[in-house]
Amino acid sequence: MVKSIAGYSDRISVQPGETIRFMVSCSEPTTYRARLVRVVSGDLNPRGPGVKLPAVASAIDGTYRGRPQAINAGSYVLVPAAPPLAALAGFTVQAMIWPTTPDRGEQVLLSCWSAARQAGFELLIDEGGAAALRLGDGAGRVELVSTGERLLERAWCFVHASFDPATGRATVHQRRQVAYSGLATEATVERRAGFAPAGADAPLLMAARLAEGDGPGRRTAAHYNGRIDSPRLSRRALPIDEALSLHLRPVPQPVSADLVAAWDFSLEIPTEQVIDLSSNRLHGTAVNLPTRAVTGYNWSGAEMSWRAAPHEYGAIHFHDDDLYDAGWESDFSLAVPEGLPSGCYAAHVASDTDEDFITFFVRRPTGRPASRILYLAETATYLAYANHAFNFAAHASEMLGNHLVILDRWEQHLNLHPELGNSLYDLHSDGSGICYSSRLRPVLNMRPKAMSSTAGLGSMLWGYNADTHITDWLEAKGFAFDVATDEDLHAEGARLLDAYKVVLTGTHPEYYTAAMRQALADHTARGGRLMYMGGNGFYWRIAYHPTLPGVIEVRRAEDGTRAWIARPGEYYHSFTGEYGGLWLRQNRPPQQLVGTGFIAQGFDHSSGYRRTPESADPRVAFAFEGIGMDETIGGFGLIGNGAAGLEIDIADPALGTPPHALVVARSETLTDTYLLVNEELPLNTPDLMGTMNPRIRSDLVFFETGNGGAVFAFSSMAWSGSLSHNRYDNNASRLTENVLRRFADERPL
């Protein structure tokens, strides 16, 4: 336990009149104080602007009683207890499975089991990695029948177990789909059990069992890692061939007369629903968002989208570390008062030993702005990076950063608490990529004061906390601004932006849904202005869940700078059916929207910019007032000591930079930790490093859009780290201020 207090909220964006609830857990029963703070700057660097978290008096001020609240991570399917399940004397349980960690101890595939009474049955992978059946009579007798043959990792296998009450025979069978010479393809064990299993009178679970225990919330154990396809349950012991025929569609007669349930995971893929095709309608719920829209045992490769061949996507991939909603009890809530200005806020909770900040944003009602300036908090990107385990879990973090990794406190805590769940950059415990990320759990790096060692030498800020360099600068310069989030943008589109003359992004607006991207395009086409304050923006296509709040999906498809690579046939979002991956690969490169797009990344030193002759164009004279032609712009800063750094973008007419766009400055040479991104490479050549490749640079780009609108792209994640240099009196700050003042001006550009 590194941190002893942590929390989250039910919403991330609220407006006056709405209520936000806060969930807090303390490692020990204790009291803690809560208060509301405005988040202006969260940078701990003594060379930076300082931490600025002014308190705001509110109804949450007070002392609260804290206690531990657990997280029950791991996904499963829950089917409520029902008479057809309780009445089973004989049975057959079967499924196609694709186990990913068969050697990791007992993992339940399907459980009709009462842990308290030790009654019922469950199909499982046993300690030896073999298919097995557990029977319990509820009177102290428990028996495990195992094939004793270890299942292969990531190989489809038919597993089948039955019990015949007439003979007392229990049978377990496993048969791998692909045969390999010298390896057993199948194994069967048959044994007379000394007793008949009792009815469990409990819910049926897939991929876990219900655990004993009291306290709030359902607790589960023996989670399974891997895929399950076409699980079936029958009310008598079926011979193997009959059981195999149950995988046919439609299910053949007369076997179907004994069918208790036949779950088809290819139905209702975008939802949590699990559909039973049998007349019993034993429908279930998928809990903690196991991965859907994954290829099943019968995927032929003929179709790449689950919508084109749903019957080949009848699998769900379960993970023992999936988590959607931590489900904690709420400690306190805030009814947002009418007079609370739009802005970045946090509930600051502090015990005698630790503190946490539960961050959220207060927006204005649609169409009722308090400023011409909107700061768009990149909450989708915060979710993508939520609880990023890279610095301690990935193999390349020191190499990429070109310096030793220093783990911040939040990272040390996360390392000890995998139940908090990781980010879209990380892997599940079975090595598969994480494609869903939710905010209904403590997100330890969506906090002021959080640092990340692979975020450039200096302040080492990334994401949420790096973005406080922007809010700090806006306040220091006296700009009044409203705030809205990616969730608001996704829900309302350009309607949200119409009330504003200028929209500023954060330092890394990387994750965009189709609706979000279209909203920005519409805004600039209608005369709005956009200041792209970051790098590697508008890069991944994502999806929000159609009904579940606060969760996004990414499919790391065929190309791009990827932390993991999606499996073939799994490039389409399960939430929406949309093709995932890079916007670049969907005829919507970021250059079309903001003039520049991702070209390179490096994580040590940043550089400054030199003006181009194009910067003397009268069209952009407003931006360079007070800045000499020969000045190095932003040759200083808190992120790698320069304004051009971390992830950087260039103009590229071939990818859609408008022909009238002006490239007004280019960054100076970057270090050899900066490498050309792979999506730019038809093949590898020995000139991919910063000092060798002229394309490895950041371009500042300006262009006008329809109806007097305009875009200015700063094209670097490090840019905002330069703004506070010399008490905000420097040429990067001046350039940003010149652009913002002109962009906030109604006169057409």
Binding site for Fe ion (CB under 5 A): 510
For Fe ion, the closer of residues 430 and 510 by Cβ is: 510
d(C-alpha 696, C-alpha 476), whole Å: 32
Measure CA 501 to chain center: 31
Residue 286, classed as helix, strand or coil, is strand
- The nearest distance, CB 141 to Fe ion, in angstroms, is 56
Separation of alpha carbons 533 and 524, rounded Å: 15
The one-letter amino acid code at 21 reads: R
Instruction: Name the minimum Å distance from CB 388 to Fe ion.
Output: 10
Token pair listed for 403: 């310096």
CB 172 within 8 A of CB 133: yes
Minimum Å gap between C-beta 582 and Fe ion is: 12
Which of residues 95 and 450 has its CB atom nearest to Fe ion in the complex? 450
- Nearer of residues 275 and 405 to Fe ion, judged by Cβ: 405
Q: Least CB distance from residue 386 to Fe ion, whole Å?
A: 13
DSSP readout, 404-420? -----HHHHHHHH-GGG
Distances (CA, A) of 396 to 111, 260, 402, 603, 685: 40, 50, 10, 12, 21
Query: Shortest gap between Cβ of 95 and Fe ion (angstroms)?
Result: 38
Strands 551-554 and 355-362: unpaired
Place of tokens 């195999």: 244
Cβ of residue 381: shortest distance to Fe ion, in angstroms? 7
Q: Choose between 378 and 510: whose C-beta lies nearer to Fe ion.
A: 510
Closest CA to 421 of 510, 319, 545: 319
Q: How is residue 338 written in tokens?
A: 């009418």
Helix (H, G, I), strand (E, B) or coil at 228: strand
Alpha carbon separation from 84 to 236, 282, 346, 732 (Å, rounded): 12, 9, 50, 70
Read off the amino acid at residue 466.
A
> CA 415, CA 422: separation in Å to the nearest integer?
10
CB under 8 Å to 4, separation ≥6 — which residues?
Answer: 26, 27, 28, 351, 353, 354
34 or 676: whose CB is closer to Fe ion?
Answer: 676
CA atoms within 13 A on the CB side of 66: 28
Q: Is 137 helix (H, G, I), strand (E, B) or coil?
A: strand
Please give the DSSP secondary-structure letter assigned to residue 502: E
- Cβ contact 264:96 at 8 Å: no
125: tokens are: 């992978």
* Minimum separation from the CB atom of position 631 to Fe ion (A): 30
Q: How far is the CB of 553 from Fe ion (least distance, A)?
A: 16
Q: What is the nearest approach in angstroms of Fe ion to the Cβ of residue 507? A: 10
Q: Which residue is nearest to Fe ion (CB)?
A: 510
Q: Nearest distance from residue 445's CB to Fe ion, in Å?
A: 13
What are the Cα distances from residue 721, in Å, to 41, 467, 505, 533, 666? Answer: 11, 9, 14, 11, 17
Parallel/antiparallel/unpaired status of strands 13-14 and 355-362? parallel
- Looking at the Cβ atoms of 482 and 510, the one nearer to Fe ion is 510
CA 363 – CA 131 distance, rounded (Å): 54
Nearer to Fe ion, 321 or 510 (CB): 510
Q: Kind and range of the H or E element at 83?
A: helix 83-86
Of the pair 149, 510, the CB lying nearest Fe ion is at 510
Tokens of 702: 């300006």
Cβ-based nearer residue to Fe ion, 162 or 391: 391
As measured in angstroms, the least distance from the Cβ of 536 to Fe ion is: 5
Exposure class string for 110-119: b at 16+ Cβ within 10 A, else e: bbbbbbebbb
For the chain, counts of helices (H) and of strands (E): 12, 44
Instruction: Identify the burial level of 532 via C-beta atoms within 10 angstroms of its C-beta, where 0-12 means exposed, 13-18 middle and 19 or more buried.
Output: buried
Q: Which is nearer to Fe ion, 382 or 702 (CB)?
A: 382
Minimal distance, residue 477 CB to Fe ion, in Å: 27
Q: Report in angstroms how near the CB of residue 560 gets to Fe ion at its nearest.
A: 10
C-alpha angle 620/670/533, rounded to 5°?
Answer: 40
Decide whether 509 or 528 has the Cβ nearer to Fe ion: 509
Shortest distance in whole angstroms from residue 562 CB to Fe ion: 11
What's the closest the beta carbon of residue 639 comes to Fe ion, in angstroms? 14
Query: Which one, of 495, 496, 487, lies nearest residue 10 by Cα?
Result: 487
Residue 600 CB, shortest distance to Fe ion, in Å, is 13
The CB-of-511 to Fe ion minimum distance in angstroms stands at 8
* One-letter-per-residue 3-state SS of 685-740: CCCCECCCCCCCCCEEEEEECHHHCEEEECCECCHHHHCCCCCCCCHHHHHHHHHH
